[in-house]
Amino acid sequence: MIFYVLLHGFPDLPTIWEPLLKSLPKGQKILTPNLWQLGIEKNKPISSEKVAAKIYFDLRKQGFGENDQLIVIGHDLGAVYATELARLAPRQTMLTLLNGLTPQMLLARMQSGTQILKSWYIWLMQLPLLPKGLLLLDKKLPARIARLAHRPETPEMCSKEDLVHGLQMYRKLFRESLLLRKSGTRKIKKIILIWGVQDPFLNSPTESEFSPLAHEVEIHLLDNHHWPQLHSPEQVAHIIHANT
Amino acid sequence: MQTPDLEKLKACQHVARLGVQETVRAIQEGWSEQQACHYLETVLKDLGVDNYFHRPFAWFGERTRFDGIRLYPQFKPRKDRFLKPDEVVILDVAPLFQGVSSDIGYSFSLEPREDLQTAKNYLKKLRETIRQNFETKGVASTIWKTIARDIEANGYDVIHRRYPLQVLGHRLYNHPQHSSHFHFMNFGLEAYKSLLMGGVISEVISPYFQKSVEGIWAIEPHIGKSNVGSSFGAKFEEILVVENGQARWLDEEFI
């Protein structure tokens, strides 16, 4: 059986996957967890490994076993958790990332001037108090930034509480990324990158960035912005389907 | 401190066993020790556990024999130690559940290993020897020394000699339902409290303890073999009930 796990980014909700879900094959087990609920315990963000363990256990409860195939799709911040999840079942997983990187990759990219400029908001989020204050003062701020980045109005974005959770998780991931992961973990079977090249936040990916993570890397560049699953859901579904 | 209710203790050990069994089924080549512990905690949380006497430990390969472990922080699960299919794994966790703590230890490997199976067969035999010794010897230090001699006579190293206080076992107690979530070096506040309130020496089966062994114990013999290129350790941890000079395992079945 094929299991799908779709992990949204910031400041989105699982509803971001609705257009894509309509184009995925019917009759499969599909999980679209809300990361803002999974990633916070006792008001504190938990590590990306712990979030992945929770999702993996959910999969096992749904019947995922050693003979099943897992397709993990991560967008934006969801790419981090998607990669951690894929590492738990590397032999069975095909990882698909839509305009998203691991924090280590993002840090490595910071040698590029254009990427530093595009990542201004990540640095802003690391400041004490200010980003939370801005979100609490103006909860429409992320929506305005998203609109500037050509995100459609629908589906809706996360609530004020979720925004704060997302911010906490962003900061936690940034701290995690500073602790370098040592090599030795098994490579994932395959990574497919589906990338909107008009992305105002992230430069386009290269094969060499992702080859340490997977035996096979396939890159599809689309004439989209940061949300290819909203702009071209049928095309994204077609690429995923062609690889299953 | 109060001796735990046996039914609650059974329920707690059952939950711990379910958590370990699910982790054994789920774990894959390439997982880190820390990933295994995160997964075990996730499963236990789902089963209703939200605090620990001690949080999960996972050791892979040579670390199951504590090779390369010199300082206490090195016992903690590592995020950069990844599982190979032919390696031995030990999982060890002590959840708090319904006001009592239990403790479980389990050794296994992804691929079958004859030397591990031989060690587990010996541990099964040792389990009965330990029970008999609790009935006949009656003093902790004598039991500890007899068991250590037995392990060495069978060609294994006594790895629990390298535990804090060289413990072969420790007492189990009731704990408050809503105890603090403070943990230091993987051990919860309840672990430190029981040591402080009961007195270190009367709480553990070690070479130093001279008192009676009546009560409820988590017993954890840990043995090791230093094969060239494939050193490993193996252990079990189960609950032994000692009442009126009679000793019995809480679970009859050896896992």
Supply the pLDDT for residue A107.
80
Give the residue from B185, B236, B244, B250 showing the smallest Cα distance to B53: B185
A47 interaction partners in chain B (CB closer than 8 Å): 38
Q: B26 CB near a chain A CB, below 8 Å?
A: yes
Per-residue pLDDT tens for A50-62? 999 999 999 999 9
Q: Among B31, B33, B38, B80, which would you mutate to test the A interface (most chain A Cβ atoms within 10 Å of its Cβ)?
A: B38
Q: Among A3, A46, A48, A50, which would you mutate to test the B interface (most chain B Cβ atoms within 10 Å of its Cβ)?
A: A50
Contacts with B, A 80-99, CB within 8 Å? 87-91
Q: What is the mean pLDDT of residues A86-114?
A: 89
Give the residue from B80, B31, B187, B75 showing the smallest Cα distance to A52: B31
- Using 50, 70 and 90 to split pLDDT, how confident is the model at A198? very high
Per-residue pLDDT tens for B50-67? 889 899 999 999 999 999
Q: With 70 as the cut, is the pLDDT of residue A43 above it?
A: yes
Q: What is the mean pLDDT of residues B106-127?
A: 96
Find the CB nearest A185 among B38, B46, B82: B82
Mention every residue, 6+ apart, whose C-beta is less than 8 A from residue B107: B64, B88, B89, B90, B116, B119, B120, B123, B233, B234, B235, B236
Per-residue pLDDT tens for B172-192? 877 766 667 777 777 776 776
Q: With 60 as the cut, is the pLDDT of residue A93 above it?
A: yes
- Using 50, 70 and 90 to split pLDDT, how confident is the model at B3? confident
B20 interaction partners in chain A (CB closer than 8 Å): none
State chain B's mean pLDDT as an integer. Answer: 89
Q: What is the least distance, in Å, from the CA of A64 to any CA of chain B?
A: 10
State chain A's mean pLDDT as an integer. Answer: 89
State which residue of chain A sits closest to B29, comparing Cα positions: A186
Q: With 90 as the cut, is the pLDDT of residue A140 above it?
A: no
Per-residue pLDDT tens for B131-152? 999 999 878 889 999 999 999 9
Q: Which residue has the tokens 């402080």?
A: B196
Q: What is the mean pLDDT of residues B225-232?
A: 85
Percent of the residues in chain B that have a pLDDT greater than 90, as a whole number: 64
Supply the pLDDT for residue B73.
85
- Using 50, 70 and 90 to split pLDDT, how confident is the model at A183? low
Supply the pLDDT for residue A182.
53
Supply the pLDDT for residue B31.
95
Exposed, middle or buried, B190 (CB in 10 Å: 0-12/13-18/19+)?
buried
Supply the pLDDT for residue B242.
93
Q: Do the Cβ atoms of A185 and B30 come within 8 Å?
A: yes
Find the CB nearest A87 among B25, B30, B42: B30
Q: What is the mean pLDDT of residues B23-49?
A: 96
Per-residue pLDDT tens for B201-211? 667 787 776 67
Q: Do the Cβ atoms of B39 and A53 come within 8 Å?
A: yes
**B232-235 sheet: strands from edge to edge:** B157-158, B222-225, B232-235
Q: Do the Cβ atoms of B32 and A185 come within 8 Å?
A: yes
For the ranges A74-78, A92-96, B161-165, the lowest mean pLDDT is seen at B161-165
**DSSP secondary structure letter of residue A165:** H
CA distances from B158 to B72, B149, B155, B162 (A): 18, 9, 10, 8
Q: With 60 as the cut, is the pLDDT of residue A231 above it?
A: yes
- State the virtual CA torsion across B194, B195, B199, B202 in degrees, nearest 10: 90
Q: Do the Cβ atoms of A91 and B31 come within 8 Å?
A: no
Q: B39 CB near a chain A CB, below 8 Å?
A: yes
**Residue pairs between chains A and B whose CB atoms are closer than 8 Å:** 55
Q: Do the Cβ atoms of B38 and A47 come within 8 Å?
A: yes
* CB half-sphere exposure, B225, CA atoms < 13 A: 20
In residues, how long is chain B? 255
Per-residue pLDDT tens for B5-31? 899 999 999 999 999 999 999 999 999
Higher pLDDT, residue A134 or B65: B65
Q: What is the mean pLDDT of residues A33-47?
A: 93
Find the CB nearest A53 among B35, B79, B80: B35
Q: With 90 as the cut, is the pLDDT of residue A137 above it?
A: no
Spatial separation of the C-alpha atoms in residues A208 and A197, rounded to whole Å: 18
Supply the pLDDT for residue B198.
57
B119, B156 Cβ separation under 8 angstroms:
yes
- Using 50, 70 and 90 to split pLDDT, how confident is the model at B128? very high
In terms of phi and psi (left: phi > 0; alpha: psi -120 to 50; beta: otherwise), the region of B166 is left
Q: A68 CB near a chain B CB, below 8 Å?
A: no
Find the CB nearest A49 among B30, B34, B43: B34
Supply the pLDDT for residue A184.
58
Supply the pLDDT for residue A139.
75
* CB half-sphere exposure, B79, CA atoms < 13 A: 12
Q: Do the Cβ atoms of B39 and A56 come within 8 Å?
A: yes
Q: With 80 as the cut, is the pLDDT of residue B2 above it?
A: no
pTM of the model: 0.90
Q: B37 CB near a chain A CB, below 8 Å?
A: no
Contacts with A, B 86-105, CB within 8 Å? none
Q: What is the least distance, in Å, from the CA of B50 to any CA of chain A?
A: 11
B42 interaction partners in chain A (CB closer than 8 Å): 50, 53-54, 56-57
